[in-house]
Structure 1
Amino acid sequence: MGVTTFTQEFTTPITPSRMLFRALIVDSHYLIPKIAPLGIKSIEFVEGDGRDGRAGSIKVTNFAEGDVIFDKIESIVYEVQFLASSVGRCLCKMIGGYHTRGDVELNEDDIKQGKEKAMGLYKVVEEYVLGNPNVYV
């Protein structure tokens, strides 16, 4: 099994403690399969407390079937750091590690597709939190 690592950064209009750490990390095992059931079936919270910009980690191990990139991956471990960037906004820094099945190697298109899926998931969570102002307060 090989590991391919990538990094990315993005911002959100939601505070770090409200949306990102709680929704994407602590409650990810409950929230993500609920709001994105066709993409990810389960997530495991690994470590971290999200306070003061410290990183938290999740491990994604049970993907929806039939997705080409996920057929190549055993699991993905994300280490995510949430930093306040301006009033009510957050900067998210993410390092993803794709643990492939057997001796499969990921190419540039696979990595691009994985990043797009990660951003898609982030956007689904962001929309859910923005649309439900009473959650994660």
Structure 2
Amino acid sequence: MASTNSWTHEIESPAAAPRLFRASVMDWHTLAPKLVPQIVASAHVVEGEGGVGSVRQFNFTSAMPFNLMKERLEFLDADKCECKSTLIEGGGISAAIETATSHIKVEWAANGGSVVKVESTYNLLPGVEVQDEITKAKGYVTAIFKAIEAYLIANPDAYNDQLNQSTEIIYMINM
């Protein structure tokens, strides 16, 4: 019987929540090979059109302990900057992990930036322990969001189509 485990991680960013969410979640398969080529060799949608039920594949360099990962998008609310995905192949499935899900929510911060909240839940195969891997995973997640943040700062017009009047109103209401 597999044991259920989870970890959470928060990352603060000066980037606006909708921009960061769009770049880091909805378009990550396009940006990853450009922003972190030392980790992600290539990535693409293998099933669907990017919405719920779509499957993306990420192919990794030797920097990662596995060569690929496929994830299925289970939930997506772009207006609330929230998604959930399930690991369906690679990424330790069958070697150490029975199942794994990720929940990402990007929320507005009081300073106009955002806070990324990541929760990963997984079932380990019997006898497997992953403490070092959790620390590494949090480091990878932080590196990914900081790479996206740097890209958004360097490209202030990128992903601004999501910053509309209704988003600004939502931000002011949440203040």
TM over 0.5: yes
Q: Show the counterpart of 1:22.
A: 22
Greater RCO structure (CA 8 Å; 6+ sep):
1
Aligned length: 128
Radius of gyration: which is bigger? 2
- Determine helix, strand or coil for the equivalent of 2:77: coil
Cα deviation, residue 62, structure 1: 5.1
Q: TM-score, normalised by structure 1?
A: 0.72
Q: Deviations over 1:2-24 (max 9, x none)?
A: 553100112100110012x1011
Alignment-derived partner of residue 79 in structure 2: 51
User: What is residue 140 of structure 2 aligned with on the other side?
Assistant: 117
Contact 1:26 1:45 in 2 (8 A): no
Runs of 4 or more consecutive aligned structure 1 residues displaced over 6 Å after TM superposition: none
TM-score calculated relative to the size of structure 2: 0.59
Which consecutive unaligned segments of at least 5 residues does structure 2 have?
Answer: 41-57, 60-69, 161-175
Partner of 1:94: 118
More helix, by proportion:
1
1:30-49: CA deviation from partner (whole Å, max 9, x where unpaired): 22233223245265544212
Q: Measured at CA, do residues 62 and 31 of structure 1 come closer, stay the same or move farther in structure 2, by a change above 3 Å?
A: farther
What CA distance in whole angstroms lies between the structure 1 residues aligned with 2:153 and 2:3? Answer: 37
Which residues of structure 1 form unaligned runs of 5+? none
Q: What residue number does 1:81 align with?
A: 105
